[in-house]
Homo-oligomer: A and B are copies of this chain.
Amino acid sequence: MRGLMQDWPLLVHKIIDHAALYHGDREVVTRSIEGPIVRTTYRQIAARARRLAGALDARGFALGDRIATLAWNSWRHLECWYGIAGIGAIYHTLNPRLHPEQIAWIAGHAQDRALFFDISFTSLVEKIAPSLPHVELFVALTDRAHLPAANIPNLVAYEDLLAEGDGTFAWKQFDENTACGLCYTSGTTGNPKGGLDTHRSNMLRAMMIAQVDAMNISCRDSILAVVPMFHANSWALGFAAPMIGAKLVMPGAKLDGASICELIESEKTTISAGVPTVWFGMLQHLVESGKQVRHMKRIVIGGAAAPRSMIQKIETELGIEVAHSWGMTEMSPVGTIGTLTAKLTELPYPEQLDYKAKQGRALFGVEMKVTDDQNRELPRDGITFGRLKVRGPAIASSYFRDEGLASFDDDGWFDTGDVATLDAEGYMSIVDRSKDVIKSGGEWISSVQIENLAVGHPSVAEAAVIGIAHPKWNERPLLVVALKPGHDCCAEDMLGFLSGKIAKWWMPDAVAFVDEIPHTATGKIQKTELRARFADFRLPN
């Protein structure tokens, strides 16, 4: 029997409408690309998003069209999200940190019909424009005065485009499962794959991350959105902040420690979220400048593992609570967060830190399990590790244009590609990537855990562990080491350093010294490159 509740589809434009009505004067503050700090409000953003929607509609853009953005966090970028989604089109966030050829490939795969870009990316757009015949409209996110003189066809200034629209434009209506945003995973192997989220998934994820035990967002908070809108959907902050009515502070292109600290102080921000690199920068700046941050209550760290020492430093020296988080583009994107349960708050602080250093607990609406290669569920004992699989209403069911279907199980679970443990308290801990884990005699060895230990050696600058084919054990670990300049070390010394710290059968069979460890565009160790380089490497008997 069907219940008798109203049909009120979860469409994201309802978020900005709610913000305009109930938090209309709440500020959105941006360090603009043009230079000055720009202050606007949710009321203005809602009206301007409607203008944009009207202008796009009038120019023939419609339901299902992909419209790309290549931009830092700004009020205009936020308007683009709501304006584009408000006609049922799809905002497609491009990552400016990728190689130009890769950006062009992604835009081509998506068949974007328009491209909105920050003027700091003008030369990049100029370069790739000729290979984007499907892009009918280029929009520089600025006003006419700042419009760059560039060799880009059909170029218009954003403010001029807005002037074509009307602030009373009526949002289009459609099903809540309509595609809303498109974002490609950078991917260390193969072509990038597009995650296509929906209005429903974005709204549900925003409701989840705002909860007390997630990001703990109140309308009295001021949020510094360091995590980029172009990558992993700004961890849903672009939806959660206006939904709750929190002030939103956008750092634009400047993510260095000094710039971040300046915004934290001037805008009295209380919550922030970003990758470890940003917080390293903040900590270093505070030490060097002797300055303080006074209003900050909570920092959410994700995108990469936050070192235990960083968590401790921020909590004990700055008095700011840290919550470790984990997610993926395919998960809209937040999956876990490390807020302590009642039971764990009673532990001594060092033991609390053991939990805080893990990747956190699943949000409600994110089901998680670890399985072996035969998809048998493994125990939640904090020790046994296996493939981490997830299920939920804001998790991908497939990729755009059916790329990479292997990630999706027949029973509806998404294989994250991570290898992890789950413990009795619900905490998940990433052990490795499944393609990097070393399969030795049917058992798995974590490359990451050996690497983390190896970099503790005083002479080691960076370390990587890869699997080398082995006739008996299938694979055995090779430790690849780049030494610090002026340091010296031999294989015996390295292995002696590891000895006793890991199980005997985890000990690398050999150590190779290299000048430099190769990296991807986003700074991850490029293990594919290492595997190619050591393809012919022969392990000692």
Contact = CB atoms under 8 A, between A and B. Distances in A.
A412 interface: yes
Given A210-B211, A212-B244, A243-B364, A7 B397 contact: yes
Interface of A: 1-8, 10, 15, 18, 21-23, 25-26, 63-64, 90, 175, 177-180, 195-201, 204, 207-208, 210-213, 216-220, 243-245, 247, 332, 339-343, 345, 361-362, 364-365, 391-400, 412, 414, 426
18 contacts: A2-B175, A3-B201, A4-B398, A5-B177, A5-B197, A5-B332, A6-B391, A6-B395, A22-B362, A25-B343, A204-B207, A207-B364, A211-B211, A212-B212, A213-B219, A213-B244, A220-B340, A220-B345
Contacts of A23: 341
Contacts of A22: 361-362, 426
Contact of A2 (B179, B332, B395, B412): B179
Contacts of A10: 393
Nearest to A25: B343
Given A211-B210, A211-B211, A212-B210, A220 B5 contact: no
A212 B216 contact: yes
A1 to B, nearest CB: 3
A244 B3 contact: no
Given A10-B393, A219-B213, A361-B22, A341 B245 contact: yes
Nearest to A8: B393
Given A22-B361, A244-B364, A364-B18, A4 B399 contact: yes
A377 to B, nearest CB: 12
Contacts of A197: 3-5
A342 B241 CA distance: 14
A241 to B, nearest CB: 12
A393 B180 CA distance: 19
Given A341-B23, A426-B22, A179 B3 contact: yes
A5 B200 contact: yes
A212 B218 contact: yes
Contacts of A213: 218-219, 244-245
A135 to B, nearest CB: 18
Contacts of A210: 211-212
Given A1-B179, A4-B399, A213-B219, 14 more contacts: A1-B178, A2-B178, A3-B198, A5-B177, A5-B196, A5-B200, A5-B201, A6-B392, A8-B392, A18-B364, A21-B426, A207-B208, A212-B218, A220-B340
